[in-house]
Amino acid sequence: MNLQVPHIGRLAAGPRNSITDVAGVRVGHCTLDAGPVQTGVTVLMPHGGNLFTHRLPAAAAVINGFGKSAGLVQLEELGQLESPIALSNTFAVGTLLTAQVRHTLRENPECGRSLSTVNALVLECNDAYLNDQQALAIEEGHYLQALQALSQEVAQGAVGAGRGMSSFGLKGGIGTASRCVSIGAAGNAFTVGALVLSNFGRLPDLVIDGDPVGRRLADSAASDHSPEKGSIIMILATDAPLDARQLKRLATRAGAGLARTGSVYGHGSGDIALAFSTAQQIEASAECVQLTLLADHLLDPLFHAAADSVEQAILHALFAAETVRGRDGHVRVSLRERLAALA
């Protein structure tokens, strides 16, 4: 059994095969690994400036809405991203929302007074199998630690928000990937990057690059008909000039990459995709906004890149994660360990 992660599709990856191949994007983690507390925070910073004053076109696609996130309603209405993207466990959403607001206030003292309030964006998955969520271990300082760790080099697997996550009954977590495309007669080069918080799936359903390997790994679990539980957050970044309407279309294509790995978007799985473009910033105080947009009939290569990069990122999360023991003796074994035993 091949223990190396396959390259998905025909498109080339960027130099890091990471969402940070989109210029300006950085990711930071804070990981909590202490017996029954197996959780953390991951922060994605879309550009190096002040997001509250210089926003980005963005949109979300809710493939299955079993989630407790903050900020999606206004994002859907206005089509703008104005805060970093924070990821963690379900019970940490409120804490991270407060941390996001405090961070914005430090950079923008008039926020909520002479300026508008901030639409802080926090997304979550339920890591309760490995992590004692009732401990409410995530604190505001962990958000700041993740901010301080922002880098173009992205650790993957059981790190940050991915520390306690499970996928296909195995260890899940953080994964990232990118794909490069050439569009139009001029051959304009663009990048699509994906970052996932992977916490979904049933082992018998796992597919790796078209191979239904989960059926062989499942053994006695092959007859398990328990419902799919968990969630996945899929974040797409691109440097292609797109508006919120086009980005919603791009986010929707994350579902194609998710489905290829064996997900059926089960009742209890919160499957949410978010896409943003770094090509043009929107000044919050501007009275008139004019964006240059890629023509719709040229979007197919970006759709292809979105599906491939999401599928690749999910596999990266699985292949990078190590076995983790958490609360009440619960264990999630790594994919590599299971594949080695099958060989």
Q: How many residues does the chain have?
A: 343
User: What gap in Å lies between CA 90 and CA 6, rounded to an integer?
Assistant: 31
**Continuous segment of H or E residues that includes residue 238:** strand 229-238
Task: Name the 3-class secondary structure at 300.
Answer: helix
CB 78 within 8 A of CB 57: no
Return the active site residues.
231, 269, 271
User: What gap in Å lies between CA 235 and CA 197, rounded to an integer?
Assistant: 9
**Continuous segment of H or E residues that includes residue 60:** strand 54-65
Identity at 250, one-letter amino acid code: L
Strand bridging mode 121-125 / 331-332:
unpaired
CB 124 within 8 A of CB 232: no
Torsion of CA 300, 122, 279, 76, to 10 degrees: 60
Residues in contact with 329: Cβ distance below 8 Å, sequence separation at least 6, in sequence order: none
Chain centroid offset of residue 95 CA: 19
Burial class (CB in 10 A: 0-12, 13-18, 19+), 331: exposed
**Continuous segment of H or E residues that includes residue 99:** helix 93-107
DSSP letter for each residue of 167-195: ETTEE-EEEEEEEEEEETTTTEEEEEEEE
